[in-house]
C-alpha cells in the first residue's frame, strides 16, 4: 500500500508511474478523499475541544449560581456529544473509503524498470545453457516430445484419473515420476538451506483474509483464490507460500540487527486460474494445485535491491545445478505483478515447445507489503521506526522444473535421464522410462 502523505506531495509522480503500468491516474481522487477525511477530523477535534471547554464552563456557572447558563451549556454539550458519536462513525467510513482506494493502487516501478505494455516489452538480461541445447539434440527424437507425451507414454502421468477425481487442471503422478518430482523439491530445499542461508519453515496452507491482504492478493485478486468456510469467516488456500512466510513478521517491530531474515518453504499452492481459459490446457504447466519452493526475504530499506539480485541468483543456481537451459528477463512496467517494484522472471527452455517458459519470478516490493502488514524495524540510536522491505521469489516451481527435466533430458527411446544432482534422491537411478 502506498503512503497517502507521499501521494499528497508527489501527485504527478504517482500518475506518471501508474501510466507506465497502463493504469488510470488516481492522485486527484485520492487527495480529494484524504482532504475530506482530514477536514472531518478537524471538525471532530474542534467539537471535542469545545465539549471539554463547555464542561468546565458548566462547573463555573453552577458554582456562581447561574443555573440558566449551566442548563444551556448542558444542552450544548449534549448536542456536541451526539455530533461526535455520529462523527466517529463518519470518520470510520471515510477512513475505510480511503484505505479501500489505496488498497487497489499497484506498487510503483523503480526508475530502472523498462517501460512497456506487456511481455513483448520485457528485456532479456542473460542466458545460460545454449551449449546444452545443442549437445542434447543428438540424444533426442527429431521432434522432441512435450512433457505430457513423455509422461503418458511411461504410464506415469495420468490426467484422465485426475479429471475423474477433481476435474481439469489436475495431474496424477505415479512411480518414478512421483519420486522425481519429490526429489526435485527436496533438492531445492537442501540447496537453499545449506548453501544459500534460508531457514526452512513449515507453514499453514490456509490463511485468513488479513494475511492475503498483507501480501496484496486481496482485494484485487480474490477471484484467483480458493476459499473454505471457517465458522463465521473463511480461510483461503494459499496461492503461494509467499503469503504465510511474509506474514511471519506482520505487526512486529524488529531490530535492524535481526535483518535480513530469509525463509523458504516447500508447499502445495492452489490457484483458480481465473481468466486462463484455453491457455495451457494440455499437460501440467498451469494447474489448480502444484508444488513450489518459495523464497522470502525481509530486509531494511538500504539492502533490498542487493537482496533482489541475490535471491534471483539463488533461483538461477537451482537451474544451473539441474543443467537446465534458461534465460532471465526483467519485466517491463506493464507486465509486473501488482505488488512489485521490480521483477526478474527466469524462463526455462522447453524443447517440446521450442520456447522458454517462466519457472521463477523474483520481486522486490519495497515497503508496499509492510505497510499492509504493519511490519517495521528499529534502527539503533534512532527515534521511531521504519517499514521493512519484503522480497519474494520462486526457488523454483517444482512442477515446472519437472517439466524442464523431462523435456531437456529426454532420449530417443522415450526414456529420461536423471540429472546428476538428483540421483542420490532417486536411490541412484540414472534413467526412468523407455523401452
Q: Which residues are catalytic?
A: 271, 286, 358, 361, 400
Cα distance between residue 41 and residue 30, in whole Å: 17
DSSP annotation string for 59-119: HHHHHTT-HHHHHHHHHHHHHHHHHHHHHHHHHHHHHHHHHHHHHTSPPPPPTTSPP-SSG
- How many other C-beta atoms can be found within 10 angstroms of the C-beta atom of residue 216? 25
Find all residues with CB under 8 Å of 160, minimum gap 6, and list them: none
Cα distance between residue 30 and residue 121, in whole Å: 30
Q: Which residues pair with 264 in a beta bridge?
A: 200, 295
Cα distance between residue 198 and residue 157, in whole Å: 32
Distance from chain centroid for Cα 205? 15
Q: What is the dihedral of CA 278, 280, 283, 285, to 10 degrees?
A: -140
Cα distance between residue 256 and residue 380, in whole Å: 7
Q: What SS3 state is found at 228?
A: strand
φ and ψ at residue 395, rounded to 5 degrees: -125, 35
Q: How far is CA 220 from CA 106, 116, 339, in A?
A: 10, 22, 11
H/E stretch holding 167? none
Find all residues with CB under 8 Å of 178, minimum gap 6, and list them: 156
- How many other C-beta atoms can be found within 10 angstroms of the C-beta atom of residue 183? 24
Contact in structure between 26 and 12 (CB atoms under 8 Å): no
* Residue 422, all three cell numbers: 538428483
Amino acid at each position: 500500500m502506498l503512503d497517502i502523505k507521499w501521494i499528497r506531495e508527489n501527485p504527478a509522480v504517482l500518475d506518471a508511474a501508474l501510466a507506465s503500468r497502463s493504469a488510470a491516474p488516481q492522485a486527484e481522487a485520492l487527495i480529494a478523499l484524504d482532504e475530506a477525511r482530514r477536514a472531518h477530523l478537524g471538525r471532530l477535534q474542534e467539537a471535542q475541544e469545545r465539549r471539554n471547554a463547555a464542561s468546565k464552563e458548566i462547573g463555573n456557572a453552577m458554582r456562581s449560581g447561574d443555573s440558566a447558563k449551566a442548563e444551556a451549556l448542558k444542552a450544548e454539550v449534549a448536542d456536541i456529544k451526539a455530533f461526535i458519536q455520529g462523527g466517529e462513525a463518519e470518520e470510520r467510513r471515510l477512513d475505510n473509503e480511503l484505505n479501500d482506494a489505496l488498497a487497489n493502487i499497484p506498487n510503483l516501478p523503480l526508475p530502472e524498470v523498462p517501460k512497456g505494455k506487456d511481455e513483448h516489452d520485457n528485456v532479456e538480461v542473460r542466458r545460460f545453457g545454449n551449449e546444452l541445447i545443442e549437445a542434447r539434440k543428438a540424444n533426442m527424437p527429431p521432434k522432441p516430445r512435450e512433457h505430457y507425451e513423455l509422461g503418458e507414454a511411461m504410464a506415469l502421468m495420468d490426467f484422465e484419473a485426475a479429471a475423474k477425481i477433481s476435474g481439469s487442471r489436475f495431474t496424477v503422478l505415479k512411480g518414478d515420476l512421483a519420486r522425481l518430482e519429490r526429489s526435485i523439491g527436496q533438492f531445492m530445499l537442501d540447496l537453499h538451506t545449506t548453501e544459500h542461508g534460508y531457514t526452512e519453515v513449515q507453514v499453514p496452507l490456509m490463511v485468513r483474509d488479513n494475511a492475503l491482504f498483507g501480501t496484496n492478493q486481496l482485494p484485487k485478486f480474490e477471484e484467483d483464490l480458493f476459499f473454505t468456510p471457517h465458522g463465521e469467516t473463511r480461510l483461503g488456500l494459499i496461492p503461494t507460500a509467499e503469503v504465510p512466510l511474509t506474514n511471519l513478521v506482520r505487526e512486529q517491530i524488529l531490530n535492524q540487527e535481526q535483518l535480513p531474515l530469509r525463509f523458504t518453504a516447500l508447499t502445495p499452492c492452489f490457484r483458480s486460474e481465473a481468466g486462463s481459459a484455453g491457455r495451457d490446457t494440455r499437460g501440467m504447466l498451469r494447474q489448480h494445485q502444484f508444488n513450489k519452493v518459495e523464497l522470502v526475504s525481509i530486509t531494511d530499506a538500504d539492502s533490498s535491491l542487493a537482496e533482489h539480485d541475490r535471491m534471483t541468483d539463488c533461483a538461477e543456481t537451482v537451474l544451473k545445478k539441474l543443467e537446465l537451459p534458461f534465460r532471465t528477463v526483467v519485466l517491463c512496467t506493464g507486465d509486473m505483478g501488482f505488488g512489485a517494484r521490480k521483477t526478474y522472471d527466469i524462463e526455462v527452455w522447453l524443447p517440446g515447445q521450442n520456447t522458454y517458459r517462466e519457472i521463477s519470478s523474483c520481486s522486490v516490493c519495497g515497503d508496499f507489503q509492510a505497510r499492509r502488514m504493519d511490519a517495521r524495524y528499529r534502527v539503533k540510536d534512532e527515534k521511531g521506526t521504519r517499514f521493512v522491505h519484503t522480497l519474494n521469489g520462486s526457488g523454483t516451481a517444482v512442477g515446472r522444473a519437472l517439466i524442464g527435466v523431462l523435456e531437456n533430458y529426454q532420449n530417443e527411446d522415450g526414456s529420461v535421464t536423471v540429472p546428476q544432482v538428483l540421483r542420490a534422491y532417486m536411490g541412484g537411478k540414472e534413467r526412468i522410462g523407455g523401452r
